Structure 1
Amino acid sequence: MLRQYELVERVKAYDPDADEAVLNRAYVYTVQKHGEQKRASGDPYFSHPIEVAGLMTDLQLDVATIITALLHDTVEDTLVTIEDIEHNFGNEVARLVDGVTKLSKIEAMPENERAAENLRKFLLAMSEDIRVLLVKLADRLHNMRTLHFIKKPEKRQRIARETMDIYAPLAERVGMYEYMREMQALAFKELEPEAYATITRRLEQLRSQDGGQVDAIALKIKQALAEAGLQVEVTGREKHPYSIWKKMAERHVSFEQVTDIMAFRVLTEDVGDCYRALGVLHTTWQFLPGRFKDYVSTPKNNGYRSIHTSLMYENSMRVEVQIRTREMHARNEIGLAAHWAYKQSDKADGQVGWLRDLIEIVDASHDAEELLEHTRMAIYQDRIFAFTPKGALHQLPKGSTAVDFAFAVHTDLGLSTVGAKINGRHMPLRTQLQNGDVVEIIKGGDAEPQMSWLGFVVTGKARAAIRRAVRLKEREEVADIGAKLFDEIATRVPARIGKKAVREAVRRLGMDEPEDLMFAIGSAKLSDREVMEALVPGCTAEFEEDEEWSRRERSISIRGLTPGVAFELATCCHPVPGDRIVGLRRRNETVLVHAIDCEELASGIDSDWLDLDWGRRSHGAVGRLTVTLYDRPGTLAEMAGIFAQNKINVTSLVQTQLDHPFTTYAIDAEVQDLAHLTRILSALRASDAVAQADRT
């Protein structure tokens, strides 16, 4: 563990003007506040934040970031508050600490919701200041280094999986490859211990058998470049166990069939020497087509710059070679952090544009699972390059389509997309883009995202935006149904209903807008009586004995049952009065009443069958309909009008399929009897808005 004076000396070595007093104060503060707390290893807890601060000094970050690293666990694990941090160390440090700190209420959430809420808060904080991410990555790296001290295997597995899925990809996306590789190696060791041990053992065997082959190849490469007048530094290494395992999984090959286990790095003086070295290597050894990538002329989103090529060395051995300048190498290993080390934070802004996409995903995601799915898609995929007609470059995941490209340019463009030209030719929107494609998006004034797009888009940003737009459209359509039903409900209250009455009803129901009320009615979240009471309090009392109101209430009796025997109407066939019915009775279970033609009766071979009939006054049951509407404006409203005219109370309406130009809904509706249900089906089938209507 770093001593207090050692930490200060490290910071002063690269920042002579650093405030030594505040660094000392922060060091003492974290030691005092964490007090006697212990880590799983038995070490004092404050050793962890001090080590994280040490990692920040390796990146030569500013004093505020070092202090944030020292204090990052005080709010979560001690009695310290954000207000205390702000009082003692200022607003900037308090804001950064708050960004790294987990919300205490998250601990009570289910696992996936807790992870999603933690990630949501973290992404929002990091979008405001990327230093939040740098501290968090160092925090996670040190926790992974001490993971083996945690006794519970399931907890180790959870932390390792989270590291592999979220934090290692985030490190890669900001170019911190050193962090990424170590996180992956440590997580791989925990998640796949047998594979890790096997590959590590095979690498050790190769190392003992090759007789210094890596050094020999590195020397040959250096000699070939020196003969061409290039002064370079060449190093070689075996690839990491996780990298080899990943290639084995992707290519479905054994360890022996992975041919490019060795990788070499050539460091040059300037960019010109990079390309001269590439020419020498390609003329000295055969290069492998399709394995060449130039990230010098076209850097990755995270600022990574290097030339990658693969050569066929002697004895048909494949070797990977990376060529870059010394300056590129220094910045590639620590990525975005280098912009603080080199005092060039202004240049970092253009390299984290993908953060803005993540924030859009946070806003558009509907629940925890969506957020985690979209975020993983956004941070964990290989990239391709495509251009707008004006030459603007956009990096996208492999497999991206024209729709993904449109959303990458701008969310509004994606929402209004109706077509695309790829390299000057009209192509289907689902066409997958290739490196170097020029994509022109065609907009439409009344365009709307289609649910079917979710079948081929691959970016988290596009998927989140499409789902959000479809949800909003569905909400509008359900609200339109609610408005029709509201008009019918309003005719039954003893007062004239105006805008003021509606506003008061919205307030009484604890809602914000009249649209919320219409949506609640359309989605059957409010009963007619609740709406009437909200409009005119006390008005439903006079309906208690009214025949019309009573007609709407269910009154079901079944003949053929022993008095007092409980029964339920089966939800598979939704029988209504007038249907021929049969009962299934199993020992110690409620009798289930089915329609005589229900397909589920075949599963009742081990039950007692009862011949049943409806009681004389039975009326009011839920029937299920499947209705397919033409996908055009007004059709939902017309269906709602048909329900209102036939005095149908819709208890559930769910969109089950969107297959342009049709939209299919599953609808549960309260009907009086079979005749009532037949009338509503006839009315629906007669409507121009309805393509098909059937009883389920």
Structure 2
Amino acid sequence: MALKELGLGEILEDIEKRYPEERDIIHRAFEFVSEKHSGQLRKSGEPYVIHPLEVAKTLAELNMDSTTVIAGLLHDTLEDTDTTYEEIEELFGKDVADIVEGVTKIGKIKFKNLREAQAENFRKLILATAKDIRVVVVKLADRLHNMKTLNHLRRDKRIRIAEETLEVYAPIAHRLGIWEIKRSLEDLSFKYLYPKEYERVRKFVSQSLEDLEVYLKKFVIPKVREEIKKAGIKAEVTYRPKHLYSIWQKTIRKNIGLEEVHDLLGVRIIVDTIQECYVVLGLIHSLFKPVPGKFKDYISLPKPNLYQSLHTTVVAPKGRMVEFQIRTREMHLRAERGIAAHWAYKEGRERVQEEEVFSWLRSLVENIQGSKNPSEVLDNLKRELFSEEVFVFTPKGDLIVLPVGATPIDFAYHIHTEVGNHCAGAKVNGRIVPLNYRLQSGDQVEIITSPAKKPNPDWLKFVVTSRAKNRIKHYIRQVERENLLSEGKRLFEKARESVNMSQEEFLEKLRKKVRFKDEEELYIALGSGKLSVSKVVSLLSPKKKASTEKSRGRGRGRATMDGLEGVMYEMGSCCNPVPGDEIYGVVTRGKGIVLHEKGCSNLRYVAEHFPEKVFRVKLKPEGKFKTKIRIKARDRIGILSEIAKNIAESGSNIWESTTRTTGDGTAFMDFTIDVTNKKHLRDVMKSIKSVEGVEACSRLYS
């Protein structure tokens, strides 16, 4: 069928006239799409090619660049024909191919549960998926024509599409400031979702507008034009009715009747400069009495979508309220077309780069904000348009919102703790991916589970959500606790057998000596080394008590110093010296001699300022001596119990222990242990270093 017969010739010609330098490539694009969609019909029975041409027409009317218009012509070819991305790229360039691919991705999004919070997530998903804002503009133009032909679909489909449009696409058009499309999408959705209310508002507006127009033309506009002319300002004075959906929303928001909506028609005044905007505002207020609280300065304080204008409502002749909007031509273009205005076609010039758009926004914000930091406003706008979240789907099509960088493990724990704990693998868009794969907006994620699979501490290195981190750590602590319980029970039996008591008698006597809430707490104390077998045995064996106390050394004893016997001493808690160290004594008041290891900072201070108080000491290796060590290890299940076991098997007891784990899975463990001498300490540390995952072990000085 010829273009003329379809009524498409004039549309195509009008588009081509707007882009004289790209006329040939636009015509080639139309011929390409006509061939690809040949034989395809819309639900209306019309040839399919009408739809892409109408989309391109809308984009041209928005003055989008030629790249976007061509992408509008081709936007359905990847989805509905045998066309490939490579084919589009070769014939029309990478930018066109990328935009068409972006529109196709958005078209595959399945909208479910359009309650308020989810609707906002879907809006963010579209913006995040698009990457290039022109993709969204093409999708809005596509949705606009689909809404205009919605009457050819079944009622249930009409309702679903209208709901999507009102909850997702119209707010995006608003966010991007594309007023023309926003208004049309809202009114068309209103018509299908609330037909009775739509008809009631339509009839009221239709009946009221004629009277309002006569009133404005007779009593308001002539006076305004005359005053502006006297001031020597060149201005356009027009009026425009509010769109139906906004009128209906106002009645709901303010709980008023239609007859109480006074701003059905707004007067718009367009001038050349910002200064003239304020001059005209003064003229309006001198002609008519302003209504208190009804003045808005969106020039000094723009809306989030960078809309700028002065709004004022006045009491005009006969007591009628009239709203005025005053703006510059540039502001008017932006108000009608929003961000689309920044890709406006300019003859002899390639499309405006996205960087240029944000450069323009930056300069605008600087003008508006004055001394305030414009980059913050710009960053907020970018965050609004290019979300810092990823939007993925379950196999059933439910939308899940996760932070950027999220992995299948994060997704699994978001679904349920058990799904995360038994995650064995993941499929993204039908393909197996590694568990540290970074999810992208639009991905469909399927988790493969297995009862045999358990959380891996290595997952902590790449998960990003606090929920996943907490669940993994909880599982690790749970397993660690089970290991400590098992080891504690073994040591409990060892201690019980050594004192030859029944379990009941052993527990009863031990409870009188050691405080513990229940048996589990006792087992964990034994398993972690906080309570040693030798300590338990010494508490329940009076004969061994004295020797044990001596071996534990409460920090005091006798030493040999340069041949002097029987002098009382105390071990320095700052360095915890042991036999085999180079040890010095420091004479103090009240404590007698305090012993320090040669490298101790406290010893160096005393030696420098009071050298007469420092003596070389030869310590007899009797009993055991407390010292501190620090262990650095890769955190894993069971590592604490293995270290405690190796310390015990090396003939040492743990008096105290603390553990700290960093975000990257590195554990730092501090132990206070007892040893007989420096060689014994080296043996204990060597045994600790043999534990898998231990990276370092060294003495710890306070």
Is the CA contact 2:8–2:50 (under 8 Å) kept in the aligned structure 1? no
Structure 2 residue 390 is the aligned partner of structure 1 residue 363? yes
CA distance in structure 2 between the partners assigned to 1:284 and 1:230 by the alignment? 16
- Report the residue type matching 1:362 in the other structure: E
1:348 aligned partner: 357
CA distance in structure 2 between the partners assigned to 1:118 and 1:218 by the alignment? 44
Structure 2 residue 183 is the aligned partner of structure 1 residue 174? no
Structure 2 residue 214 is the aligned partner of structure 1 residue 212? yes
Structure 1, 348-357 or 312-321: larger mean CA deviation: 348-357
The structure 2 residue matched to 1:76, chosen from 76, 79, 95, is 79
**Residues 112 and 256 from structure 1, CA distance in 2 versus in 1: closer, same or farther, beyond 3 angstroms?**
closer
**Residues 373 and 195 from structure 1, CA distance in 2 versus in 1: closer, same or farther, beyond 3 angstroms?**
farther
- Report the residue type matching 1:481 in the other structure: H
2:312 aligned partner: 309
Deviation at 1:136, TM superposition (A): 0.9
SS of the equivalent of 2:389 reads helix
Structure 2 residue 61 is the aligned partner of structure 1 residue 58? yes
- Report the residue type matching 1:173 in the other structure: R
Is the CA contact 1:215–1:236 (under 8 Å) kept in the aligned structure 2? no
2:204 aligned partner: 202
CA distance in structure 1 between the partners assigned to 2:223 and 2:401 by the alignment? 47
Deviation at 1:21, TM superposition (A): 4.0
1:481 aligned partner: 474
The structure 1 residue matched to 2:142, chosen from 124, 139, 143, is 139
**Residues 104 and 208 from structure 1, CA distance in 2 versus in 1: closer, same or farther, beyond 3 angstroms?**
closer
Is the CA contact 1:112–1:369 (under 8 Å) kept in the aligned structure 2? no
The structure 2 residue matched to 1:43, chosen from 24, 43, 46, is 46
The structure 1 residue matched to 2:236, chosen from 233, 238, 242, is 233
The structure 1 residue matched to 2:126, chosen from 122, 127, 132, is 122
CA distance in structure 1 between the partners assigned to 2:101 and 2:468 by the alignment? 35
2:258 aligned partner: 255
**Residues 245 and 487 from structure 1, CA distance in 2 versus in 1: closer, same or farther, beyond 3 angstroms?**
same
SS of the equivalent of 2:465 reads helix
Structure 2 residue 48 is the aligned partner of structure 1 residue 33? no
Q: 1:376-426: CA deviations, max 9, x gaps? A: xxxxxxxxxxxxxxxxxxxxxxxxxxxxxxxxxxxxxxxxxxxxxxxxxxx
The structure 2 residue matched to 1:282, chosen from 274, 280, 285, is 285
1:165 aligned partner: 167
Deviation at 1:194, TM superposition (A): 1.0
Is the CA contact 1:4–1:24 (under 8 Å) kept in the aligned structure 2? no
1:618 aligned partner: none
CA distance in structure 2 between the partners assigned to 1:231 and 1:103 by the alignment? 45
Q: Write out aligned runs for 1:314-353 (5 A).
A: 314-341=317-344, 345=353, 346-349=355-358, 351=361, 353=379
Deviation at 1:45, TM superposition (A): 1.0
Deviation at 1:254, TM superposition (A): 0.7
- Report the residue type matching 2:194 in the other structure: E
SS of the equivalent of 2:43 reads coil
Is the CA contact 1:82–1:94 (under 8 Å) kept in the aligned structure 2? yes
Is the CA contact 1:307–1:323 (under 8 Å) kept in the aligned structure 2? yes
Q: 1:153-212: CA deviations, max 9, x gaps? A: 121111111111121121122221111111111111111111111111112222355571
Is the CA contact 2:52–2:75 (under 8 Å) kept in the aligned structure 1? yes
Q: Write out aligned runs for 1:585-624 (5 A).
A: none
> Alignment identity in percent?
36
Is the CA contact 2:114–2:167 (under 8 Å) kept in the aligned structure 1? no
CA distance in structure 1 between the partners assigned to 2:129 and 2:245 by the alignment? 31
Q: 1:269-326: CA deviations, max 9, x gaps? A: 3222111110111122111222212222333333322111111112321111000123
SS of the equivalent of 1:303 reads coil
**Residues 37 and 372 from structure 1, CA distance in 2 versus in 1: closer, same or farther, beyond 3 angstroms?**
farther
SS of the equivalent of 2:302 reads coil
Q: Write out aligned runs for 1:669-684 (5 A).
A: none
**Residues 223 and 147 from structure 1, CA distance in 2 versus in 1: closer, same or farther, beyond 3 angstroms?**
same
Of structures 1 and 2, the one scoring higher in RCO (CA 8 A, sep 6+) is: 2
Q: CA RMSD in A?
A: 3.7
Structure 1, 276-285 or 294-303: larger mean CA deviation: 294-303
Structure 2 residue 14 is the aligned partner of structure 1 residue 23? no
Is the CA contact 2:121–2:391 (under 8 Å) kept in the aligned structure 1? no
Deviation at 1:488, TM superposition (A): 4.9
CA distance in structure 2 between the partners assigned to 1:112 and 1:251 by the alignment? 25
CA distance in structure 1 between the partners assigned to 2:207 and 2:235 by the alignment? 30
SS of the equivalent of 2:78 reads helix
SS of the equivalent of 1:212 reads helix
Is the CA contact 2:212–2:265 (under 8 Å) kept in the aligned structure 1? no
CA distance in structure 2 between the partners assigned to 1:280 and 1:258 by the alignment? 25
1:265 aligned partner: 268
Deviation at 1:246, TM superposition (A): 1.0
- Report the residue type matching 1:276 in the other structure: V
Deviation at 1:133, TM superposition (A): 1.3
CA distance in structure 1 between the partners assigned to 2:283 and 2:486 by the alignment? 89
CA distance in structure 2 between the partners assigned to 1:104 and 1:203 by the alignment? 35
2:17 aligned partner: 13
**Residues 4 and 111 from structure 1, CA distance in 2 versus in 1: closer, same or farther, beyond 3 angstroms?**
same
CA distance in structure 2 between the partners assigned to 1:105 and 1:195 by the alignment? 32
Is the CA contact 1:53–1:70 (under 8 Å) kept in the aligned structure 2? yes
- Report the residue type matching 1:75 in the other structure: L
Q: Write out aligned runs for 1:497-508 (5 A).
A: none
**Residues 86 and 211 from structure 1, CA distance in 2 versus in 1: closer, same or farther, beyond 3 angstroms?**
closer
- Report the residue type matching 1:472 in the other structure: T
Is the CA contact 1:116–1:372 (under 8 Å) kept in the aligned structure 2? no
**Residues 26 and 366 from structure 1, CA distance in 2 versus in 1: closer, same or farther, beyond 3 angstroms?**
closer
**Residues 359 and 131 from structure 1, CA distance in 2 versus in 1: closer, same or farther, beyond 3 angstroms?**
closer
The structure 2 residue matched to 1:295, chosen from 298, 302, 308, is 298
Q: 1:86-137: CA deviations, max 9, x gaps? A: 3443322221111001478756x967699999867632343x3111111111
Deviation at 1:7, TM superposition (A): 6.1
Is the CA contact 1:99–1:122 (under 8 Å) kept in the aligned structure 2? no
Unaligned stretches of 5+ in structure 2?
A: 362-377, 404-462, 488-636, 642-702
- Report the residue type matching 2:470 in the other structure: E
Is the CA contact 1:36–1:44 (under 8 Å) kept in the aligned structure 2? yes
Is the CA contact 2:205–2:264 (under 8 Å) kept in the aligned structure 1? no
**Residues 219 and 125 from structure 1, CA distance in 2 versus in 1: closer, same or farther, beyond 3 angstroms?**
same
How many pairs are equivalent?
A: 398
CA distance in structure 2 between the partners assigned to 1:247 and 1:491 by the alignment? 66
Is the CA contact 2:59–2:69 (under 8 Å) kept in the aligned structure 1? yes
CA distance in structure 2 between the partners assigned to 1:373 and 1:205 by the alignment? 50
1:156 aligned partner: 158
Is the CA contact 2:178–2:339 (under 8 Å) kept in the aligned structure 1? yes
SS of the equivalent of 2:390 reads helix
**Residues 274 and 28 from structure 1, CA distance in 2 versus in 1: closer, same or farther, beyond 3 angstroms?**
same
- Report the residue type matching 1:13 in the other structure: K
Is the CA contact 2:122–2:168 (under 8 Å) kept in the aligned structure 1? no
CA distance in structure 1 between the partners assigned to 2:213 and 2:179 by the alignment? 29
TM-score normalised over the length of structure 1: 0.51
2:613 aligned partner: none
1:244 aligned partner: 247
- Report the residue type matching 2:475 in the other structure: G
Is the CA contact 2:119–2:167 (under 8 Å) kept in the aligned structure 1? no
**Residues 3 and 130 from structure 1, CA distance in 2 versus in 1: closer, same or farther, beyond 3 angstroms?**
farther
Q: 1:415-441: CA deviations, max 9, x gaps? A: xxxxxxxxxxxxxxxxxxxxxxxxxxx
Q: 1:303-350: CA deviations, max 9, x gaps? A: 322111111112321111000123322332112122121565544226
- Report the residue type matching 2:137 in the other structure: L
- Report the residue type matching 1:165 in the other structure: E
